[in-house]
Structure 1
Amino acid sequence: MSQYPDEPSDGYLSDVIPFEYTAAIGEIFSKWALLEHEIDVMIWDLAGLSDTPKIGACLTGQYVSIAARFSALIALARIRGASGFQLAKLNKFKEHVLGLAERRNRVAHDPSLTTWDLKTSPLSAKTYRLHKTARSKLEYTLKPIDLSELRSLREEIDNTLTNFGGLALDPSLAPYEVR
């Protein structure tokens, strides 16, 4: 029995994937890390740690998900006096980012595989991701990866990073003052 579901019969399945796919995947991870860092910086600001980012990094470095970062960020914004409008914008933004996180997580956690047709010259290839989830229902299949989808996800993350900077969260309280 194959270790992969629905293994394509039109070539040799390998974990060696074309460079343009690895480059696109790397760009997704890099942009995502920048987004997480910008959220961390806003957390540090709201926690009164903007002058001591190393202390802030000790705290936010413990968050393993973007959802945990947003929980802390929204709680801090609330106790620092952010308006209802600002909190609503932040919550809406969080929902958008959590949707992106699911797509990013599929890129990060689903192994990429390529079928190489060894009979053609130059070699032809088709790249897949091994989609494995079991959220009340098993999904275990090879799904084709389109390079344009990876580039689109990177662009969406980049735009989200830009939009995060434009949230202009401006709490009304002085550092260390809480409501």
Structure 2
Amino acid sequence: MPDAPIEEPDISKEHFEAVGRATNAWATFEFYIDRLIWWVANVAEPIGACITAQYIGPAPRFRALAALVKLQGGSAELVTSINKLSAAAQGVAAERNRWAHDPMFVDVESGEVFRHQVTADRTLIIELKPAAASDIASLEKKIWTTVNEFKTLADNIRRELSPSRSRPVQSPPTGT
């Protein structure tokens, strides 16, 4: 952590472009999850969007998707696959969140870029961390890898649930 004063200006366009690219990749990922939720729920886009627009991040999306796949008769193996990808996506989401929400600053003396992390997920962290544009580019690659894994999962869900889409969904027992 530098002792020299830090300033906002002179953060490279490369840094801002890398953050924008990673953030767009993540938005694409969440949009793909939303679209699959709408398909599994068998609702029109405007109706589904009213619901999924309320979800913040991938966790509630994956919880809804798993519940819907189960409700529509999806196999236990398919639900397990959803849950595994959900767990993997959480780590990528946490990394994306840091780049999207931590402000960046430049060390005046060295010219090095830092991001100021302030988090308190069970442990308080307040520190400047080096912010290399190459690290952000690596994150973007992780996101696109996750997107491709999701596309494979989505294909499996569509393949397994397609035959049952012509049957009405049975209401689950109410427990009374």
* In the alignment, structure 1 residue 15 sits paired with structure 2 residue 8: yes
Question: RMSD between aligned alpha carbons?
Answer: 1.7
- Tell me the TM-score normalized by structure 2: 0.86
Stretches of structure 1 that go unaligned for 5 or more consecutive residues are 1-5, 118-123
* In the alignment, structure 1 residue 25 sits paired with structure 2 residue 16: no
CA deviation after TM superposition for structure 1 residue 7, in Å: 4.8
What is the match of residue 164 of structure 2? Answer: 173
What is the match of residue 112 of structure 1? Answer: 104
Distance 1:80 1:129 in 2: 44
SS in 2 for 1:125: coil
Aligned length: 164
What is the match of residue 40 of structure 2? Answer: 46
What is the match of residue 78 of structure 1? Answer: 70
Distance 2:108 2:2 in 1: 12
Distance 2:38 2:122 in 1: 37
SS in 2 for 1:43: helix
Distance 1:89 1:30 in 2: 25
* In the alignment, structure 1 residue 150 sits paired with structure 2 residue 136: yes
Structure 1 residues 25-34 or 143-152, which shifts more?
A: 143-152
Tell me the alpha carbon deviations over residues 46-83 of structure 1, each in whole angstroms, 9 at most, x when there is no partner. Answer: 1001xx21111111111122111111111101111111
What is the match of residue 159 of structure 1? Answer: 145
Larger helix share, 1 or 2: 2
Distance 2:121 2:42 in 1: 39
Distance 1:127 1:66 in 2: 29
Between the two proteins, what is the percent identity of the paired residues?
33
CA deviation after TM superposition for structure 1 residue 161, in Å: 0.7
Q: Considering Cα pairs closer than 8 Å and 6+ residues apart, tell me whether 1 or 2 has the greater RCO.
A: 1
Distance 1:40 1:55 in 2: 11
- Tell me the TM-score normalized by structure 1: 0.85
Letter in 1 for 2:72: R
What is the match of residue 132 of structure 1? Answer: 118
Matching residue within 65, 69, 91 for 2:61: 69
